[in-house]
Amino acid sequence: MNDKPQITTHYADGRESETRDMTEEEIALLPTTLSDYEAPVANS
Amino acid sequence: MTFPSFGAGEVLTATDMNAVGLWKVASGSLSSTSTNFVGCFTTDYDNYLIVLDKVDVSSAADIYIRFLNGSTPDIGANYFWAYVGYTISAGGVNSNAGTGQTIGFTGITSSVGAEILSSATMTCYSPKLVQRTFISSSALSYPTQFAVRNGMTHNNSSTSYDGIQFLTSSAATMSGGVTIYGYRK
């Protein structure tokens, strides 16, 4: 099974959508961190 | 003619149609780790409404955006974002911000699984114009509890973009729908 991240492209001009494997360069540029909700900060 | 309710068989005049304020320009499913909408920004419109609904991710992840030139994303360090967030139990204001990001943050931290899905609306200002591009957004989600994030993304480059890319982390895939509308000038 191909477990490489993929990229899907939709075209506004009506061309058919397509999906392909991401390149190693594209994978390296993906975000890796999760922006969690922080504890509430009291107003001062 | 009684605008905006039309009767069957009535002729729609130029005046009627020119009064329409919002036109759908593109739509499609969020899928894979990254989803491009190519050619959705044109000179026909300056500003756009982007609606994301029924958004889910395969593992805990945020959803980000990049602007596109053709199918090529702008990966320059010129995205700036900030948001305020509320959760129902914390009851307080949370904030976070980033600068010099290569990606812009949509404010969605999605729940995992189909039980409670995420939604967001984004207003995108002047992506096709050769000037800075802004997005204001409001996102509802359920990362661990009901939550909302209201925020902005600013692209500091005076570049004309004709598309937008949604992406998440390499370990996750997205699902859901995206509809993009243009505001009549």
Residue of B nearest to A35 (CA): B62
Split at pLDDT 50, 70, 90, the class of A43 is very low
Give, in order, the Cα–Cα distances in Å from B157 to each of A3, B132, B136. 35, 5, 17
ipTM at complex level: 0.86
Helix or strand or coil: residue B28? strand
**Is residue B13's pLDDT more than 70?**
yes
- pLDDT, tens digit, 9 for 90 and up, residues A12-30: 999 999 999 999 999 998 8
Q: For B62, which of A11, A35, A40 is closest by C-beta distance?
A: A35
Nearest CA-CA distance, residue B144 and chain A, Å? 10
Q: Which helix (H) or strand (E) holds B35?
A: strand B34-38
As to burial, measured by CB atoms within 10 angstroms (0-12 exposed, 13-18 middle, 19+ buried), residue A9 is buried
Split at pLDDT 50, 70, 90, the class of A44 is very low
Q: Are A10 and B71 within 8 A, CB to CB? A: no
As to burial, measured by CB atoms within 10 angstroms (0-12 exposed, 13-18 middle, 19+ buried), residue B98 is middle
CA A19, A24, B152, B130 dihedral sign is: negative
Give the separation between CA B140 and CA B56, rounded to whole angstroms: 12
Q: Which chain A residues are Cβ-neighbours of B64 within 8 angstroms?
A: 31
Nearest CA-CA distance, residue A3 and chain B, Å? 10
User: Closest Cα partner for B109 from B156, B143, B66?
Assistant: B143
pLDDT of res. B39 = 98
pLDDT of res. B34 = 95
Give the separation between CA B3 and CA A44, rounded to whole angstroms: 51
Give the separation between CA B103 and CA B123, rounded to whole angstroms: 17
- For residue B50, give the amino acid letter: I
- pLDDT, tens digit, 9 for 90 and up, residues B43-99: 999 999 999 998 888 877 788 899 999 999 999 888 888 878 777 776 655 666 676
Chain B segment 84-113 residues within 8 A of A by beta carbon are 85, 87, 90-96, 102-103, 105, 109
Helix or strand or coil: residue A38? coil
Give the separation between CA B46 and CA B184, rounded to whole angstroms: 8
- pLDDT, tens digit, 9 for 90 and up, residues B109-166: 665 555 567 889 999 999 999 999 999 999 888 777 778 888 888 999 999 999 999 9
Give the separation between CA B175 and CA B59, rounded to whole angstroms: 11
Residue B142 has φ and ψ, to the nearest 5°, of -140, 70
Give residue ranges of A with CB < 8 Å to any B CB: 5-13, 17, 19, 22, 26-27, 29-32, 34-42
